[in-house]
Structure 1
Amino acid sequence: MRTLILALAVASPSATLAEDLFPTFDSGWRWAITEPAPGGLQRFGYVDGEPGRPGYWRVRVECGLQDPRTGRVLKRVIGTGEGTRGRMPGFGGRWDLPDGRCGSYIVTQDDRHPERLDLYGEMTGVDECPRSGRGALSTGD
């Protein structure tokens, strides 16, 4: 029985863990990711979070296709939604586009190195968004 309790305690999220990792629910942030696309182009994705209801962020997600040589954006989609923290160190959420499509994102953090801002993440559901890779987490300023 003691082993089961210990296993559950280790697997359960810690309130202090969420408070120790940036972003916190009372802060704004941006996670930015790019990946190569066919034809020498680049997919980009930005997730901007701001404080929302308790335990959540309101998010604005912008994805698209650009020419990395000129910076010219060839296609852009923008949606809004909500994000939160899960059981693992990290955060994720879901957003809706005006055309009815929806997407999701998840960003993984390392509780042993909370200062790291170059974080692996994935985006799914919207073709214009990067699929996965390392993105930069910032305060969004």
Structure 2
Amino acid sequence: MNSNYQASTCPSEMISFGLGDRLGNAGTAHLKLLEAYNVFPVLAQQSTRELSLTQRTYADVVNAASKQSEELAWKRGFGADGDHLKTARDICTALEAGCKMITLDCSDEFPRDEQNSTGYWNSLSSDKQAL
């Protein structure tokens, strides 16, 4: 750790576990399971694709996790992850709903065929000065 920084501003060791309650009805069971462990739960964790399949929104996911956390009087907090986000609109929607963490999915930005992808990766510089 760089001694120029306060300890509270540096990365810390914490075990977290993404639970991703897909239907919004398992959060209480997840929290009961974790009561005996020093684990930070990421209760609200879904991708835009999953939301579309289940006809839910990020607000639904965060609200369900909040409600279940409150019902159990859970005091250790929980995480909310907008997962596999591909567009600026997806990012804004997740953040506006209360997701404090986002996971970007940049896979659409990379070439799919072998000929183009090899050229793409070979064109990336390993020269630290160029970066």
Q: Give the TM-score of the pair, scaled to structure 2.
A: 0.26
As a proportion of its length, which structure holds more strand?
1
Higher gyration radius (CA): 2
Q: Give the TM-score of the pair, scaled to structure 1.
A: 0.25
